[in-house]
Each structure stands twice: as structure tokens, then as C-alpha cells.
Amino acid sequence: GAGVSQSPSNKVTEKGKDVELRCDPISGHTALYWYRQSLGQGLEFLIYFQGNSAPDKSGLPSDRFSAERTGGSVSTLTIQRTQQEDSAVYLCASSLQLGITGGYTFGSGTRLTVV
């Protein structure tokens, strides 16, 4: 597609429920990233996929968080047993080759609210 697409744009869930957030990167972009942005905070790295390599999961805050990328394209971030502190905007970004051709292209994000 022309840009990075994320869905849903907004999600309100009850504490303890599971949620799935979807990211559709720019076609041909081999790298895909998930970040989290809490109110007034910077961008917190969660996970990074590059081609067929094993993902870099070093930023996932707990084992309730997981992500997969199917067919080198669409990615899903899953949060199990959601907690109120999980409330944030979840941003997905993709890039062709970081540092060489440029930077990230971000999606518009999913605003997650846990009540």
C-alpha cells in the first residue's frame, strides 16, 4: 500500500481481556517495528522484524506481549490479560533498509484504552 496501515485506530477493552493490533507495512519494506507511546512520553521500542530473521523481542515489557509477522508482510501484536498500564498508542513502522535509504514510515497508530 501507499503507507503503513494500522487497525483498529481505537480500541477500548476491559482489564483482563486479550487484544490484537494489526499492522500492514509498505509493500516491499523488509523491516517492521512496533513502538508504544504513552501520554507525554517518547517512543518505547517493543519488537523488530527483519525479513526471515528471528525477531528482536528485547523491548517486550512482559510475556503477556507477543507479535508475529506472517509472510514477511502483515504483523499482529497481541496483548494478553490486558492491564491498565497497557493503555497507550501503539505505533507500527516499516522501513526498506534503515540507515541507508532513510528512516521509518509510521502508521497512524492504535490507541488502546484498558478500563
Partner 1 sequence: QQPVQSPQAVILREGEDAVINCSSSKALYSVHWYRQKHGEAPVFLMILLKGGEQKGHEKISASFNEKKQQSSLYLTASQLSYSGTYFCGTEQGGSEKLVFGKGTKLTVNP
φ and ψ at residue 74, rounded to 5 degrees: -65, 140
- The residue behind cell 490486558 is 82
Stretch that binds partner 1, among 11-19, 21-29, 75-83, 95-103 (CB under 8 A): 95-103
Per CB under 8 A, does 5 bind partner 1?
Answer: no
Per CB under 8 A, does 8 bind partner 1?
Answer: no
How big is the chain by its Cα radius of gyration, in Å?
Answer: 13
How many C-alpha atoms does 72 have within 13 Å on its Cβ side?
Answer: 10
Q: For partner 1, which is the closer residue by CB, 14 or 52?
A: 52
Alpha helices for the chain (secondary structure H)? none
Looking only at residues 30 through 89 of this chain, which bind partner 1 when binding is defined by CB under 8 A? 31, 33, 35, 41-45, 48, 50, 56
Stretch that binds partner 1, among 18-26, 65-73, 76-84, 97-105 (CB under 8 A): 97-105
Evaluate whether 65 touches 83 at the Cβ level (below 8 Å).
no
Q: Are strands 43-50 and 105-106 parallel, antiparallel or unpaired?
A: unpaired
Chosen residue from 25, 109, 110, 112 binding partner 1 by CB under 8 A: 109
Q: Which residues lie near partner 1 (CB under 8 A)?
A: 31, 33, 35, 41-45, 48, 50, 56, 91, 98-99, 102-109
